[in-house]
Amino acid sequence: MGWYKINCDAALADVGDWGIGIIVRDSEGFVIVAASPKVETLGDATLAEAMGLRLAVQFALDLSLQDTIIESDCKVVVDQVVHESFHNSYVGKVTTEFGIRSPAHKFFNVFVKQLHNIHNIAERVHEGKVHQGDWHGIGSVKNWTFTVDGKVETCKESIEAIDEKNMTATYNLYDGEMSKNYKIFKWTLQVIDKEGVGGVVKWIIDYEKLNEEIPPPYRYLDYISALTKDVDAHLLKGN
């Protein structure tokens, strides 16, 4: 029956959401099937491309295609698959971003000057307490209780750095569930002003896994999405 080719690609459909395009052709170039599923609350481009590749493989299995070439333009994902190193990297980075309608500086201030009130703003943050120091000092430690994937978790957090001019802040998170899986777990928040009309919020998770069996921390992306939306909505109400 000849061979088949499957092309897959990912493109940003909306801020934080990705569309995945898949086209299956036969050896004469005729399109057999095409699909364009949307992946919601996913801000990491590499993960989106990897999911596109996974869907392409699933298409080949579902259609019982024997001799199949799968093409992706994401070199990082292809190299990781070819060299079987996708799950063998201990150190990694996950990035996601969202558009906000509230003023960028007010959004940033919530996370550097109003942490004591965050549990009253974000539904999934249940409690925060100062463990050492104060709420907003560099190196001060807080205890947090929050929900991720329907499960209540706890951790300690300390602010590593704040750059008010560039609206960037970095937080160290440890203990609790995070220390069971990660040696290093840092969140960096960057808020970009859009000329006074809302802005773009970028969250970067830098991590080091304790072993190769532990997955990257993609499960926190939905939590970050909900946190961002709750804070944005709170500020728009003028509270």
- CA-CA distance, 18 to 42, in Å (whole number)? 7
* pTM for the predicted model, two decimal places: 0.66
Say if residues 20 and 55 touch (Cβ distance below 8 Å).
yes
Task: Report residue 34: phi and psi, to 5°.
Answer: -140, 150
Q: Tens-of-pLDDT digits for all 239 residues of the chain?
A: 578 899 998 887 665 567 888 999 888 888 888 888 876 545 567 778 888 888 888 888 888 887 888 888 887 777 777 655 544 568 888 888 889 999 999 999 999 999 999 999 999 999 999 999 999 999 999 999 999 989 999 999 999 999 999 999 999 999 998 999 999 999 999 999 987 678 999 999 999 999 888 888 888 988 999 999 999 999 999 75
Region of residue 128 (left: phi > 0; alpha: psi -120 to 50; beta: else): beta
End-to-end C-alpha distance for the chain, whole angstroms? 65
Residue indicated by tokens 């995070």? 178
